[in-house]
Every structure is written in C-alpha cells, then in structure tokens.
Amino acid sequence: MSNLFSRIKDTVKADLHEVLDQKERKNPIALLNQYLREAELETEKVRKLVERQNQLKDQFRREYHQAVELAEKRKYQAGVANKAGEAELEAFASQEQAQYEERAARLQEAMVHAGEQQLELERKYEEMKHKLKDMQIRRLELMGRENVSRANHKMNQVLDNNDFSNKAYSKFTEMETYLDHLEHQVNSSYYRNTIDGRIAQLEKELKTKEASNS
C-alpha cells in the first residue's frame, strides 16, 4: 500500500512539474513574476525575524542589567546584615545575591548568543535582498529582450508576409482607381458645364441676331 501511495505521489509531482514547465515555456515572465512575489514574501518574513531577534537581544540586555543591579543590591544588604549581626538575614541576602549573579551570567551568555544570531540573520537578510534585487533586474532585462523580440516578430510579419503585402498593394491599387474615377467625373462635369454654358451663350446670341434682322 505504501508503494502505491509513493507511486501516486511521484506521478502527481511529475504532472505538476510538467504543468510548470509548460507554463514557463508559454509565459516565462508570468512565472518569473510569481517567483519574485514568493521571494519578496520570504524576504519580508526574514526582515521580521531580524526585528524580532533585535527585540529579544534588547530584552536580554535589560534582564541582564536588572540581574546585575539586584545582585549588587543583595550584596550590599548582606554586608549591612553582617555588620548588624543578623546572620539569618545575611544568609538570605547572600543566597539571593548568588541566584542573581547566576542569572546574570546566564543572561550575559544568552545576550552574546542572541547578538551572534542577529548578525547571522542580518547577513542572510542582506544576501536575500541582493538576490531579490538581482532577480528584479533580470526580470527587467528579460522583459526588454521579450519586448524587442515581439516587436521584431511583428515587423517581420509585416515585411515578410505576402498576404499583408498583397493586401496593401491591392489597397493602393483600389485607391488609385478611385482617384482616377473621381478625376474623370470632375473633368466630365467641368467640360459638360463648359459646353452647356457655351451652347446657351450661342443660343442667346442667335436669338438676339434674329430679332435684330426681323
């Protein structure tokens, strides 16, 4: 049964990788944008961890100084009790002093360790930011190359496509034919109007001449 589940799991993983490969081939920019969004989210998580680690280091520092102050306070109180002959009170203050000193030592060690961890987190965070910026620049470069490639492809289609060339040539021929026809109509109208005007003028002159003769 476990072998069956393993085969099913491997099959699902293989199908998923195939889908991702097809998606990457179809639209590499979209997949790169998805990777960048994921990288940005992870980088933001690390930034919050760095801030949290810094807060923890500050908290360790406060606790350490507080423990040192209380140890010094109990040490002074033990000295006062000793001078006063209060053995029981002196013993209690000395015990408290030892506990605070032990706590201060632990806190000092934790504070140093937290500082080292913070430096490591900050180093990794800076490295992640640099890698993220490099990915963003690579996306711009890829987008630029893709844009040029698409533009060249479109221009090559226009320049090399015979159908487009034939359509364009046919359109120019159609326009030239239309302009010739329009010019012919204008000329015909001009000459027709000119002839009609001349005939009308001749008829008027003939009528005037006939009236004079009669």
- From residue 95, alpha-carbon distances to 68, 161, 164, 209 in Å are 14, 96, 98, 152
Calculate mean pLDDT across residues 176-195: 66
- Identify the weakest region by mean pLDDT among 54-63, 64-73, 143-152, 160-169: 160-169
Residues of 76-92 as b/e, b for ≥16 C-beta within 10 angstroms? ebbeebeeeeeeeebee
Top mean pLDDT of 13-17, 33-37, 99-103, 171-175 is at 99-103
CA-CA distance, 182 to 176, in Å (whole number)? Answer: 10
Which of the 8 DSSP states describes residue 85? T
pTM flag (> 0.85): no
Helix (H, G, I), strand (E, B) or coil at 80: helix
> Which residues are CB-contacts of 118 (< 8 A; sequence separation ≥ 6)?
50, 53, 54, 57
Q: Could you list the beta-strand ranges (E) of 93-197.
A: none
Question: What's the pLDDT tens digit per position in 46-67?
Answer: 888 889 989 999 999 999 999 9
Residues of 138-150 as b/e, b for ≥16 C-beta within 10 angstroms? ebeeeeeeeeeee
Question: What's the pLDDT tens digit per position in 81-130?
Answer: 899 888 999 899 999 999 999 999 999 999 999 988 888 888 888 888 88
Are the C-beta atoms of residues 136 and 68 closer than 8 Å to each other?
Answer: no
Q: How high is the pLDDT of residue 145? A: 78
Which CATH number applies to 2-160?
Answer: 1.10.287
- Give the tokens for residue 70: 């209380």
Q: How high is the pLDDT of residue 172? A: 55
- Identify the weakest region by mean pLDDT among 29-33, 69-73, 130-134, 152-156: 152-156
